[in-house]
Amino acid sequence: MSTSRAAPSLELSPVVAGLWRLTEWDLDVRARIRWIEQALALGITTFDHADIYGDYRAESLFGEALQAAPALRERMQLVSKCGIRLRSTQRPYRVKHYDTSAAYVRAQVEQSLRDLRTEQLDLLLIHRPDYLMDAAALAETFAALTREGKVAHWGVSNHSASQFALLHQHHPLVTHQLELSSLALHALDDGTLDQAQALGLRPMVWSPLGGGRLFHGDDAQALRVRETMTPIAARLGISLATLAYAWILRHPSRPHPITGSGRIAGLREAVAALDVTLDAEDWYAIWTASKGHPVP
């Protein structure tokens, strides 16, 4: 078991490209290569995957692009996740469940390496907290796969602060991927962002645009937030999406927001937020609209 508490260094790009919906973008290999090249040109060098994305097919689509243009691999960081056994036609499990056993984590890492056509993952995250996780045993799996050169760095996604701490005490983790947006505020209060800041480990943030609800939601919360954010964005001369990213980036834990768009214009809106700094009143105006009440 590793006893070192110093987390190894890993540099992710300020904005991360998410590949959750890659199978829906309908891009041939040439178009996938072009999309990757355009993302890299914007300074987005980190690409976020998971074994289950696209019903276990997204990683292989990305890997086909890397196989056709292998020089791209040296210009990027590849992130993947495992630990969810997703029921599908490909995997007819009796029930969707979590699995952090040594055999399963190893098998999924090796499958991701084959699918992505790479020899090493820069970062592997445990996708969801497995209630049956043996932290010491999982740390041994991390250490073995690191020794073998298959995974350089480790982290988790969607864990509680205590679940993160349990695993981190057995093996150093470098990040926590969690949900945060102007429509999903729980990470501000559940201790996960406090923990990230205390440890100096920059979190990764999924669904920064609220899964599209920010633009199209007709529920009361989405309407309040959109009504508040629209004039702020106009005053700052930026798009609503850029403002949403800037709201996340304002947090002192220095999050890495993960895009979900196949449109290069969507990536540009995310990168544009790096040049925007919200003042506290604008940030809290958006928080107030989301909560539906002022701070106590």
Tokens standing for residue 170: 């057995």
Alpha-carbon distance of 81 to 112, in angstroms, equals 9
Token look-up 């001369």 returns 237
Exposed/middle/buried for residue 211 (C-beta within 10 Å: 0-12, 13-18, 19+):
middle
Measured from the Cβ of residue 24, the count of other Cβ atoms closer than 10 Å reads 10
Query: Shortest CA distance to 138 belongs to which of 79, 204, 83, 199?
Result: 83
221: left (phi over 0), alpha (psi -120 to 50) or beta: alpha
Catalytic status, residue 53: yes
Catalytic residue among 53, 131, 245, 284: 53
DSSP SS3 for 196: helix
For residues 140 and 1, the answer to whether their CB atoms sit within 8 Å is: yes
User: Any residues with CB less than 8 A from the CB of 127 and at least 6 apart, and which?
Assistant: 50, 52, 81, 82, 83, 84, 98, 157, 158
Q: Active-site positions?
A: 53
